[in-house]
Structure 1
Amino acid sequence: MTTPEHPVIVVGAGQSGLAAARACRDAGLQPIVLEAGDRPSGSWPHYYDSLRLFSPARYSAMPDLPLDGDPDRYPTRNELADYLDRYAQHLGVDIRTHTRVTAVEADGATFIVHTADGGSLRAAGLIAASGSFGNPTVPNLPGQDTFTGELLHVAGYRTPAPYAGKRVIVVGGGNSGVQIADELTNVADLTLATLAPISFLPQITRGHDLHHWLDVTRFDHLPAAWLRHIVRKPLVLDTGRYRESIETGRIHRRAMFTAFDGDTVVWPDGRREPVDTVIFATGYRPDVDYLRPLGALDDDGLPLHADGISTTHPGLAYLGLEFQRSFSSNTVRGVSRDAEHVVQPLAAHVQQAPATIGL
Structure 2
Amino acid sequence: MEHVDVAVIGGGQSGLATAHALRRQGLKPVILEASAQTSGSWPRYYDSLTLFSPAGRSSLPGLPFGGDPDRYPHRDEVIAYLLRYADRLDADIRTGVRVREVATADEGFTLTLEEGCQLSARSVVAASGTFGRPYLPALPGLEQYAGAILHAAEYRAPRSFAGLGVPPAGGWGRVVVVGAGNSAVQIAAELAAHARVTLAARHPARFTRQHVLGRDLHWWLRVTGIDVLPVGRFLRTPPTQLVIDDGRYRAAVTAGAPDVRPVFSGIEGTKVTWTDGSTEEVDTIVLATGYRPDLDYLRPLGTLDADGHPQHREGVSTTHSGLAYVGLEWQRSLSSNSLRGVGRDATRIAGRLAGRLAARLRAR
Query: Are the structure 2 counterparts of residues 231 and 288 from structure 1 closer, same or farther at C-alpha, using a change threshold of 3 Å?
Result: closer
User: For residues 162 and 307 of structure 1, do their structure 2 counterparts lie closer, same or farther at Cα, with a shift above 3 Å needed?
Assistant: closer
Q: 2:278 aligns with which of 263, 271, 277?
A: 271
Q: Which amino acid aligns with 1:47?
A: Y
344, 347, 355: which one aligns with 1:348: 355
Structure 2 Cα separation of the partners of residues 187 and 250 of structure 1 = 10
Taking a change above 3 Å as real, the CA distance of residues 353 and 120 of structure 1, as seen in their structure-2 partners, is farther
Partner of 1:34: 32
Deviation at residue 349 of structure 1 after TM alignment: 2.3
Q: Residue 168 of structure 1 aligns with which residue? A: 175
Q: 2:297 aligns with which of 290, 293, 304?
A: 290
- Measure the CA separation in 1 of the matches of 2:55 and 2:320: 37
Q: In structure 2, the residue corresponding to 1:211 is in which secondary structure?
A: helix
Deviation at residue 248 of structure 1 after TM alignment: 2.0
Corresponding position: 1:257 with 2:255: no
Q: Which structure 2 segments of 5+ residues have no match?
A: 162-167
- Give the counterpart of 1:115 among 113, 116, 120: 113
C-alpha contact (below 8 Å) 1:227/1:327 kept by paired residues: no
Aligned length in residues: 353
Evaluate the alpha carbon distance shift between residue 52 and residue 299 of structure 1 in structure 2; reply closer, same or farther with a 3 A threshold: same
Q: Distance in 2 between matches of 1:353 and 1:8?
A: 14
| Letter of the 2:275 counterpart | P
The answer on whether the counterparts of 1:141 and 1:260 sit within 8 Å (CA) in structure 2 is no
2:208 equivalent to 1:201: yes
Alpha-carbon distance in structure 2 between the residues aligned to 1:242 and 1:9:
42
Worse-matched range after superposition: 19-28 or 163-172? 163-172
Q: Give the letter aligned to residue 177 of structure 1.
A: A
User: Offset of 1:226 from its aligned partner?
Assistant: 8.1
- The change in CA–CA distance for 1:334 and 1:109 in structure 2 (over 3 A counts) is same
Shift, 1:270, TM fit: 2.2
Conserved in 2, the CA contact under 8 Å of 1:104 and 1:112?
yes
Structure 2 vs 1, CA of residues 317 and 4 (structure 1 numbering), >3 Å: closer, same or farther?
Answer: farther
Aligned residue for 2:119, secondary structure, equals strand
TM-score, length-scaled by structure 1: 0.94
Q: Unaligned 5+ residue runs, structure 1? A: none
Q: 1:324 to 1:108 in 2, by over 3 A?
A: same
Deviations 1:58-88 (A, max 9, x none): 0111112111211111001111011000001
Mapped pair 1:245 → 2:252: yes
User: One-letter code of the match for 2:132?
Assistant: G
Any conservation in 2 of the 1:111–1:124 contact (CA below 8 Å)? yes
Alpha-carbon contact 1:124-1:353 (below 8 Å) kept: no
Shift of 1:118: 1.3
One-letter identity of the residue aligned with 1:22: H
Hey, what does 2:165 align to over in structure 1? none
Q: Secondary structure at the match of 2:124?
A: strand
Between 20-29 and 105-114, report the one with greater CA deviation: 105-114
Scaled by the length of structure 2, what TM-score is found?
A: 0.93
Aligned-pair identity (%): 50
Deviation, 1:354, is 6.7
Counterparts of residues 82-121 of structure 1 (less than 5 Å): 82-121=80-119
d(CA) in 2 for partners of 1:184, 1:167: 10
Aligned-partner Cα distance in 2 for 1:306–1:26: 23
Residues 254-288 of structure 1 show CA distances to partners (whole Å, capped at 9, x for unaligned) of 11112221112221122221111100000101000
Partner of 2:188: 181
**Structure 1 residues 105-114 or 328-337, which shifts more?**
105-114
